[in-house]
């Protein structure tokens, strides 16, 4: 039991502060929704304090340098038979990274939201939900057992629903929120069943106990562990928007842009990656599942990148980009390079949040312009933008930094993280060929990533402006409350690579060594394959070449004069149409899954079972039965002595018969 240091005991404060913010902002939302200053102070304040508490906790943790994770049990939640679940938080090397990223990026986005959502009537409600989200996310990453993590898991799903459908007065927004929640639920089912299996085999649901007993409780590679981990993967595909449960994420762009930045780029969608990294022991015990994780990741990375090539809504491009980059993270953790996957998680949080917030700046400006001229054009369509670098220079510059990072150009952060993942995949490919296929998919996706991101930047910020004569005068840069966080994220996107510079470049691979205790057992089972330096340099060169090719290709191939404003743009044709229509996946899901279930619900469950059986037979039927019995009973009350005597004699005969048997 670690000595309770002053700072480490305050671990509960890290999630408690945002919860407090939720309560405060929630009360304000209900009673005085116009109190903007108070809401801003509470909403941003608790996040900043939470970040400070997280830093203090990690600092204390570093000083203590414990061998095992620190578990703080706060109260007994479910003692049931053999199962004992406590509300307990755990601080180890993995959760330390996560809380810093979550609180840090969240704080920046909260500051951005003050400017972005300043004129929205639901301001207080927004901050309440956002604070609640951070609370749940922190519960997720700090939980020391599967059930506590699951509370956070479900909670972030709930907040995602609330925030996507923030402007619920329009049906499309409410539908998007509902879609996100329902698709997530499918994944949650997988998570739950996996929990049941874990408990059945190991007798516990606490992380320490499970991971300690897993090597003996499960036989490596057999059906039990494979089933368990594949079910966990199902949960991850739901939460982290991988194939087949990614369809909710593009629709989730209906929510406010800071929400997209926080939840659907930096934090919630990374929960799946965190889960795989946390359960590395389980995944290491099942090579088939690990390969599946990596395969799903690689395929998703490529698939989503193809769709992003032909999207015109700026946020949709970024949404598919997120799905694609999450695929990279899964490729990383599936390969066994958990540090690489988490490294990409961290760098992606920086540059993707920057991209989303930048697009928020753009959308903010476009909205103002259209509002001023009372136009009803789509403020998010790339075809309505163009040449915005003259009007939003800071945003443009910072977003270019993020674009170079995501494309993987050195020395930006994305280069180091992406390169490490691809290197790990190739290294494993020398032993098993399937990983080489994954590497190829990863490289192809890198090419496409560079291409579509450059396309986004060129269409939005370069070339002629298509917004309209009158609107152009109203386009202006965002206020400092919005560009400030962008600048911080820009710096992190540029320099964030320093936390894990590999030995190849003379670095110390700090993150890798930091996470080594967490992945020790898994690393022992599947030791890393070391590549000779020459091969490594070749891979690096290939990755940079591909990225450069993508950017160059976009610059040369795209004619910036070609796009026309959205309202007069012709529909896409041919293969472009397929990509624009997202490979028709939503339509296929609708036909195969949604419509049959709707039919089943309406015809069978509602009309037959609910209306006829429950209402008709059970409820009305029992009433009718009682009425019939009552009628029969009332027939007996004739008021005639004669009939009473008849019944009397009948009764006597009955008694006589019974007595004389």
Partner 1 sequence: MTWLAAHGTEAIFWWFGSLAMVSAALCITRRNPVFSGLWLIVTLFSIAALFVILDAQFIAVLQVLVYAGAIMVLFLFVIMLLNLGRQSSTDMRGPTGAGFAAGLGALLLFQLRILRHAAPPEAVTLPAGSVARLAQEQGLVASIARPLFDTYLLPFEVTSILLLAALVGAVVLAMRKL
Partner 2 sequence: MLLAPALFVSAVLFTLGVGGVLLRRNAIVIFMCVELMLNAVNLTFVALAQQLGVAGQLFVLFVMAVAAAEAAVGLAIILAIYRHRHTVNLQNINLLKG
Binding region for partner 1 (CB under 8 A): 642, 646, 649-650, 653, 656-657, 660
Contact between residue 381 and residue 311 where contact means Cβ atoms under 8 Å apart: no
Q: Hey, CA dihedral for 589, 591, 597, 598, is it positive or negative?
A: positive
Q: Work out the burial of residue 200: count CB atoms within 10 Å of its CB; fewer than 13 is exposed, 13-18 middle, 19 or more buried.
A: exposed
Q: Cα–Cα distance between 366 and 475 in angstroms, integer?
A: 7
Taking the complex as a whole, how short is the minimal distance between the CB of residue 644 and partner 1, in angstroms?
13
Q: Work out the burial of residue 102: count CB atoms within 10 Å of its CB; fewer than 13 is exposed, 13-18 middle, 19 or more buried.
A: buried
Q: Which is nearer to partner 2, 503 or 652 (CB)?
A: 652
Q: Which is nearer to partner 2, 626 or 652 (CB)?
A: 652
Q: Cα–Cα distance between 86 and 213 in angstroms, integer?
A: 19
Q: Which does 640 bind (CB under 5 to 8 A by kind): partner 1, partner 2, none?
A: partner 2
Q: Which does 660 bind (CB under 5 to 8 A by kind): partner 2, partner 1, none?
A: partner 1
Taking the complex as a whole, how short is the minimal distance between the CB of residue 642 and partner 2, in angstroms?
5
Concatenated DSSP letters for 638-654? ---HHHHHHHHHHHHHH
Q: Which is nearer to partner 2, 588 or 652 (CB)?
A: 652
Assess 634 for contact with partner 2 (CB under 8 A): yes
Q: Cα–Cα distance between 12 and 148 in angstroms, integer?
A: 13
Single residue of 220, 597, 645, 656 touching partner 2 by CB under 8 A: 645
Q: Cα–Cα distance between 307 and 327 in angstroms, integer?
A: 14
Assess 641 for contact with partner 2 (CB under 8 A): yes
Tokens of 576: 């472009």
Q: Hey, CA dihedral for 149, 322, 356, 510, is it positive or negative?
A: positive
> Max alpha carbon distance in the chain (Å)?
114
CB proximity list for 63: less than 8 A, separation 6 or greater: 5
Q: Cα–Cα distance between 138 and 494 in angstroms, integer?
A: 26
Assess 642 for contact with partner 2 (CB under 8 A): yes
Q: Cα–Cα distance between 557 and 38 in angstroms, integer?
A: 51
Helix (H) or strand (E) holding 327: helix 314-335
Q: Cα–Cα distance between 404 and 390 in angstroms, integer?
A: 20
Tokens of 325: 């980059």
Q: Which is nearer to partner 1, 624 or 645 (CB)?
A: 645
Taking the complex as a whole, how short is the minimal distance between the CB of residue 636 and partner 2, in angstroms?
9
Q: Which is nearer to partner 1, 611 or 645 (CB)?
A: 645
Assess 658 for contact with partner 2 (CB under 8 A): no
Taking the complex as a whole, how short is the minimal distance between the CB of residue 637 and partner 1, in angstroms?
18
Assess 646 for contact with partner 2 (CB under 8 A): yes
Taking the complex as a whole, how short is the minimal distance between the CB of residue 632 and partner 1, in angstroms?
18
Q: Which is nearer to partner 2, 83 or 649 (CB)?
A: 649
- What separation, in Å, do the N-terminal and C-terminal C-alpha atoms of the chain show? 78
Among 176, 325, 143, 181, smallest CA distance to 254 is for 176
Q: Which does 656 bind (CB under 5 to 8 A by kind): partner 1, partner 2, none?
A: partner 1
Q: Cα–Cα distance between 523 and 502 in angstroms, integer?
A: 18
Helix (H) or strand (E) holding 79: strand 70-80
Taking the complex as a whole, how short is the minimal distance between the CB of residue 634 and partner 1, in angstroms?
20
Single residue of 649, 654, 655, 656 touching partner 2 by CB under 8 A: 649
Q: Which is nearer to partner 1, 431 or 660 (CB)?
A: 660
Residue holding tokens 């039991």?
1
Taking the complex as a whole, how short is the minimal distance between the CB of residue 81 and partner 1, in angstroms?
60
Taking the complex as a whole, how short is the minimal distance between the CB of residue 158 and partner 2, in angstroms?
58
Q: Which is nearer to partner 2, 625 or 638 (CB)?
A: 638
Taking the complex as a whole, how short is the minimal distance between the CB of residue 653 and partner 1, in angstroms?
6
Binding mask of the shown chain, residues 594 to 633, with x at each position contacting partner 2 by CB under 8 A: ----------------------------------------
Q: Cα–Cα distance between 185 and 338 in angstroms, integer?
A: 26
Q: Which does 657 bind (CB under 5 to 8 A by kind): partner 2, partner 1, none?
A: partner 1
Q: Which does 626 bind (CB under 5 to 8 A by kind): partner 1, partner 2, none?
A: none
Q: Which does 506 bind (CB under 5 to 8 A by kind): partner 2, partner 1, none?
A: none
Q: Which is nearer to partner 1, 616 or 650 (CB)?
A: 650
Contact between residue 362 and residue 456 where contact means Cβ atoms under 8 Å apart: no
Among 73, 135, 134, smallest CA distance to 105 is for 134
Contact between residue 322 and residue 301 where contact means Cβ atoms under 8 Å apart: no
Phi first, then psi, for residue 75 (nearest 5°) are -160, 160
Q: Which is nearer to partner 1, 433 or 642 (CB)?
A: 642
Assess 638 for contact with partner 2 (CB under 8 A): yes
Taking the complex as a whole, how short is the minimal distance between the CB of residue 639 and partner 1, in angstroms?
16
Taking the complex as a whole, how short is the minimal distance between the CB of residue 660 and partner 1, in angstroms?
6
Taking the complex as a whole, how short is the minimal distance between the CB of residue 652 and partner 1, in angstroms?
8
Q: Which does 37 bind (CB under 5 to 8 A by kind): partner 2, partner 1, none?
A: none
Q: Which does 650 bind (CB under 5 to 8 A by kind): partner 1, partner 2, none?
A: partner 1
Assess 640 for contact with partner 2 (CB under 8 A): yes
Assess 637 for contact with partner 2 (CB under 8 A): yes
Binding site for partner 2 (CB under 8 A): 634, 637-642, 645-646, 649
């Amino acid at each position: 039991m670690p000595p309770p240091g002053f700072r480490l005991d305050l671990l509960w404060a890290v999630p408690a502060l945002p919860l407090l913010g939720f309560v405060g902002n929630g009360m304000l939302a209900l009673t005085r929704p116009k109190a903007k200053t108070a809401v801003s102070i509470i909403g941003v304040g608790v996040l900043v304090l939470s970040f400070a508490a997280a830093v203090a906790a990690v600092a204390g943790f570093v000083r203590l340098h414990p061998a095992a994770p620190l578990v703080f049990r706060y109260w007994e939640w479910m003692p049931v038979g053999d199962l004992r679940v406590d509300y307990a938080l755990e601080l180890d090397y993995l959760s330390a990274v996560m809380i810093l990223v979550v609180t840090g990026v969240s704080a920046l986005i909260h500051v951005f939201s003050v400017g972005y959502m300043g004129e929205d009537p639901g301001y207080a409600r927004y901050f309440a939900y956002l604070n609640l989200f951070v609370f749940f996310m922190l519960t997720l990453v700090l939980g020391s057992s599967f059930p506590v993590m699951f509370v956070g898991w479900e909670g972030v799903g709930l907040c995602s629903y609330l925030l996507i459908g923030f402007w619920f007065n329009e049906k499309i927004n409410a539908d998007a929120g509902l879609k996100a929640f329902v698709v997530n639920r499918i994944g949650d089912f997988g998570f739950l069943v996996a929990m049941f299996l874990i408990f059945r085999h190991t007798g516990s649901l606490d992380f320490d106990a499970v991971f300690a007993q897993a090597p003996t409780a499960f036989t490596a590679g057999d059906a039990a562990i494979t089933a368990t981990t594949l079910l966990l993967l199902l949960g991850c595909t739901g939460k982290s928007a991988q194939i087949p449960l990614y369809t909710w994420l593009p629709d989730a762009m209906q929510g406010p842009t800071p929400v997209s930045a926080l939840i659907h780029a930096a934090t919630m969608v990374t929960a799946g990656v965190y889960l795989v990294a946390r359960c590395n022991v389980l995944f290491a015990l099942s090579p088939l599942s690990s390969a599946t994780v990596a395969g799903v990741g690689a395929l998703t990375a490529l698939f989503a990148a193809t769709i992003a090539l032909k999207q015109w809504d700026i946020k949709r491009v970024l949404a598919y980009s997120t799905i694609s980059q999450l695929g990279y993270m899964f490729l990383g953790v599936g390969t066994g390079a958990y540090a690489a996957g988490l490294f990409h998680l961290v760098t992606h949080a920086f540059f993707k949040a920057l991209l989303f917030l930048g697009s928020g700046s753009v959308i903010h400006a476009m909205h103002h312009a259209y509002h001023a001229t009372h136009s009803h054009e789509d403020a998010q369509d790339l075809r309505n933008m163009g040449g915005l670098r003259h009007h939003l220079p800071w945003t443009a510059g910072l977003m270019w930094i993020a674009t170079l990072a995501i494309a993987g150009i050195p020395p930006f952060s994305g280069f180091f993280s992406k390169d490490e993942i691809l290197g790990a995949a190739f290294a494993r490919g020398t032993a098993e060929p399937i990983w080489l296929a994954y590497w190829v998919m990863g490289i192809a996706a890198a090419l496409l990533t560079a291409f579509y991101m450059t396309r986004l930047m060129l269409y939005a910020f370069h070339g002629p402006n298509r917004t309209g004569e009158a609107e152009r005068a109203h386009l202006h840069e965002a206020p400092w409350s919005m560009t400030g966080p962008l600048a911080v994220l820009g710096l992190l996107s540029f320099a964030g690579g320093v936390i894990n510079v590999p030995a190849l470049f003379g670095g110390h691979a700090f993150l890798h060594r930091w996470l080594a205790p967490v992945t020790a057992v898994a690393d022992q089972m599947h030791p890393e394959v070391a590549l000779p330096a020459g091969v490594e340099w070749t891979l690096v060169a290939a990755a940079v070449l591909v990225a450069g090719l993508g950017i160059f290709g976009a610059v040369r191939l795209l004619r910036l004069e070609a796009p026309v404003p959205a309202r007069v743009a012709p529909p896409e044709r041919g293969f472009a149409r397929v990509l624009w229509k997202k490979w028709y996946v939503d339509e296929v899901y609708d036909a195969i899954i949604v419509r049959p279930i709707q039919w089943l619900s309406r015809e069978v469950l509602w009309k037959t079972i609910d209306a006829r059986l429950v209402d008709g037979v059970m409820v009305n039927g029992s009433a009718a039965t009682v009425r019939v019995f009552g009628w029969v009973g009332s027939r007996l009350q004739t008021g005639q002595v004669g009939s009473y005597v008849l019944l009397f004699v009948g009764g006597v005969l009955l008694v006589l018969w019974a007595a004389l048997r």
